[in-house]
Amino acid sequence: MFVMSGLHLPVMKDEVVRFLDPKSGEDFVDCTVGLGGHALAVLEWTRPSGRVLGLDVDPVILERLKEKVEGTEYEERLILACGNFANLGEIVNRFAFGRVSGVLFDLGLSSWHLEESGRGFSFLRNEPLDMRYSSENPLTAEFIVNFWSLRDIEGILRVYGQERFARRIAEEIVRSRPLRTTVDLVMAVERATPSWYHRGRIHFATKTFQALRIAVNNELENLERALPQALDVLDEGGRLIVISFHSLEDHIVKNFLREKAKEGVVKILTKKPVRPSEKEVKENPRARSARLRAALKL
Ligand SMILES: C[S@@+](CC[C@H](N)C(=O)[O-])C[C@H]1O[C@@H](n2cnc3c(N)ncnc32)[C@H](O)[C@@H]1O
């Protein structure tokens, strides 16, 4: 039996299984396989022959997952692919997966990225300002803070971070150049914002870090490109499940599903986004902002 480390609990696992409704022999695509929490739960239900194509843009996390499943009963049925879900259709074709019974997105970064990758995703660590899921991505957070214009930095802080002090933070970032580490950035945000902001419910650098991560990894555009391809690879009666962690992602998913429901292509299974239980949030604070939406392809 595969044992997940306490740090890497998959978010809303029971709800994912309920909405995907996996059955023996069916095939699924997990577009954000990470350390495999959801994929392995699905494989439990699809014994003996059902497969999961597990996609991740980060080759390092895929390597970790590969090591974890080696020698387990899941090894043969979990097919791992390194790539961006923005190219989902092409990747699914390359692996000759045909039409699948479900496609899952669990968006954003994993707790492994925050805690173990060393790439500057966390404002609680002192690491280089990288924030890339893949080293093939030419854009880093360090490049943005040191070379983008004040106006462009303010723009991403305002739009992707929904940061009320976007202007002041952008000004302080430009004034503080060069910034090399997460601590340099946290200190710039601290200098730019009033002291009451430092005592808030969420850490004062949360939104700045979120904005940079979204910009570095082109997260919203990738999602917009992936969703229509996810519907294409689904079989009739197949399910699309998306877990998002902030309102911009959730808006994209909501609008996409509404449009497709109007066209008669899908039936929406979640009128409102499904939220994690209080118990789950207590056990896994990362689940706090999760919202799950699901639809059935007609
Ligand atoms: C929230 S984690 C997934 C965790 C996973 N469900 C689990 O249970 O372990 C999201 C994963 O998506 C990956 N990712 C982010 N953007 C991606 C993209 N555009 N294409 C493919 N994978 C992506 C990240 O590298 C990360 O490993």
Ligand 1 contact via 85 beta carbon (within 6 Å): yes
Cα 200 from Cα 298, distance rounded (Å):
45
6-112+219-297: which CATH topology?
Rossmann fold (3.40.50)
How many whole angstroms from 171 Cα to the centroid of ligand 1? 32
Secondary structure (3-state) at 42: helix
pLDDT of residue 211: 98
Mean pLDDT of 281-286: 91
Mean pLDDT of 49-78: 97
From the alpha carbon of 218, which atom of ligand 1 is closest?
A: 19
How many whole angstroms from 57 Cα to the centroid of ligand 1? 7
- Given a cut of 90, is residue 262 above it in pLDDT? yes
Ligand 1 contact via 57 beta carbon (within 6 Å): yes
pLDDT of residue 5: 41
List C-alpha distances in Å: 27 to 23, 52, 86, 291.
9, 6, 20, 24
DSSP readout, 143-190?
Answer: HHHHHS-HHHHHHHHHHTS--TTHHHHHHHHHHT----BHHHHHHHHH
How many whole angstroms from 34 Cα to the centroid of ligand 1? 5
Cα 83 from Cα 225, distance rounded (Å):
14
Confidence of residue 7 (pLDDT cuts 50, 70, 90): low
pLDDT tens-digit series, residues 24-42: 999 999 999 999 999 999 9
Closest residue by Cα to atom 9, ligand 1, is: 35
Q: Which CATH number fits domain 122-217: 1.10.10.10, 3.20.20.80, 3.30.930.10, 1.10.150.170?
A: 1.10.150.170
pLDDT tens-digit series, residues 164-206: 999 999 999 999 999 999 999 999 999 999 999 999 989 999 9
Closest residue by Cα to atom 5, ligand 1, is: 34
Closest residue by Cα to atom 1, ligand 1, is: 110
Give me the chain's average pLDDT, please.
Answer: 95
How many whole angstroms from 11 Cα to the centroid of ligand 1? 12
Domain locations in the chain as residue ranges: 6-112+219-297, 122-217
How many whole angstroms from 66 Cα to the centroid of ligand 1? 15
pLDDT of residue 3: 34
The answer to whether the CB of 233 falls within 8 A of the CB of 88 is yes
Mean pLDDT of 34-59: 97
pLDDT of residue 147: 98
- Listed range (8-12, 33-37, 72-76, 102-106) with the worst mean pLDDT: 8-12
Mean pLDDT of 93-112: 94
